[in-house]
């Protein structure tokens, strides 16, 4: 599972987002949105549960390796790392968060705006450690990865009444796009130039959502997949608009939707045996603490499964999706 790339033009991978790219920040805040216990991490370097929502590595770990950097990107709040470690890669991501502050409130996790505040703090530490010139080079040449948005729909909009009373789904998407736009403008203002904006996956194909679709033999929930496609179209327009608007920016859309859907629909093409249910526990509902509670039911070989838990891909699926994104959207930065 090695993506080999030597002599990186990108000196660091800097990550913002949710559980798709959290490496354990939530271990250090009071929330139930955690995964720093078995069976999580059982295939991670030495079988260690780090707080990544997978049996092993998450996409940004593989992307870092593809760029000739470390094979993992550590969590900013993890006290076992310091600025010399973070200088080549860091994630500010928090499982359960979203663009919308109301989404981060649901599980009491780090709001998206706070991730940017942590990044400002990181910049200060970088300047203190390296001096302004070297720090500025790292800031300008680093690859910034944003992977966020699924929770805004599945954990917030479609689960709680507040936003549905304020917005129809199209208006809610526009509300989120406005937040994404401001975040990227602020990031650019702080010196970021190479930015990958992550698209949404086929959310309706997650085991947790498919369970609701029992009437249609547990197929993917098309409503959620359509929302993801529409949102990705809006993200694509945002990318085009900001590339014209912001001097020196190289903004790309990393869209996992189609490769992910292909893996779910034709798992055997990618070496998987199961895509309808997850590896952990019953594979239908569980994630986080529920995976630990029903651990005896967990599958023995996660590499046969597209999903690790009811919401998150297995390490093998993460690798395939990352490899695709590196060879397409991120290729220009290699």
Q: Is 309 helix (H, G, I), strand (E, B) or coil?
A: coil
Give me the helices (H) in 131-221, please: 132-141, 150-151, 161-166, 169-189, 207-210
* Residue in the structure block whose two tokens are 């970021």: 192
User: What element of type H or E holds 328?
Assistant: none
Catalytic center residues: 19, 309, 312
How large is the C-alpha radius of gyration of the chain?
19
Instruction: Read off the tokens for 293.
Output: 């509670």
Q: How far is 167 from 165, CA to CA, in rounded Å? A: 6
Rounded CA-CA distance 184/238 in Å is: 10
Give strand ranges (E) for 54-193: 89-91, 143-147
Nearest Cα to Cα of residue 83 among 46, 39, 116, 130 = 130
Buried b (16+ CB within 10 A) or exposed e, 86-104: bbbbbbbbbbbbbbbebbb
What strand order describes the sheet that includes 89-91? 89-91, 13-17, 143-147, 194-198, 250-254
- Please answer whether residues 156 and 103 qualify as being in contact, where contact means their C-beta atoms are separated by less than 8 angstroms: yes
Three-class secondary structure of residue 250 per DSSP: strand
CB 23 within 8 A of CB 76: no
Least Cα distance to 22 among 300, 245, 318, 247 occurs for 318
Neighbouring-strand partners of residue 91: 15, 75
**CA-wise closest residue to 315 among 69, 75, 94, 44:** 44
Q: Count of CB atoms within 10 A of residue 7's CB?
A: 6
């Amino acid at each position: 599972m090695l993506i080999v790339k030597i002599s990186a033009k990108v000196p660091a991978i800097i990550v913002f987002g949710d559980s798709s790219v959290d490496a354990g920040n939530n271990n250090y805040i009071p929330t139930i949105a955690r995964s720093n216990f078995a069976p999580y991490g059982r295939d991670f370097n030495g079988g260690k549960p780090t707080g990544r929502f997978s049996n092993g590595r998450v996409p940004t770990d593989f992307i870092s390796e593809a760029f000739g950097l470390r094979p993992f990107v550590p969590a900013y709040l993890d006290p076992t790392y310091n600025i010399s470690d973070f200088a080549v890669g860091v994630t500010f991501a928090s499982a359960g968060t979203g663009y919308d502050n109301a989404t981060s409130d649901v599980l009491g996790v780090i709001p998206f705006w706070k991730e940017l505040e942590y990044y400002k703090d990181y910049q200060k530490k970088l300047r203190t450690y390296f001096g302004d010139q070297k720090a500025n080079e790292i800031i300008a040449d680093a690859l910034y990865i944003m992977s966020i948005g699924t929770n805004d729909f599945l954990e917030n909009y479609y689960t709680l009444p507040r936003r549905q009373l304020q917005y129809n789904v199209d208006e809610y998407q526009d509300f989120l796009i406005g937040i994404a736009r401001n975040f990227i403008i602020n990031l650019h203002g702080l010196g970021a130039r190479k930015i990958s904006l992550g698209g949404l996956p086929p959310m309706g194909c997650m085991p947790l959502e498919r369970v609701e679709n029992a009437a249609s033999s547990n197929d993917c929930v098309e409503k959620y997949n359509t929302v993801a496609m529409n949102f990705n179209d809006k993200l694509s327009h945002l990318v085009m608009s900001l590339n014209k608007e912001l001097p020196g920016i190289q903004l790309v859309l990393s869209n996992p939707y189609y490769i992910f859907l292909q893996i779910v629909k034709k798992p055997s093409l990618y070496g998987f045996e199961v895509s309808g249910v997850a590896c952990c526990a019953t594979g239908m509902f569980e994630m986080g603490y529920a995976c630990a509670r029903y651990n005896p039911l967990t599958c023995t070989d996660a590499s046969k499964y597209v999903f690790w838990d009811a919401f998150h891909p297995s390490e093998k699926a993460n690798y395939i999706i990352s490899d695709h994104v590196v060879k397409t959207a991120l290729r220009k930065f290699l």
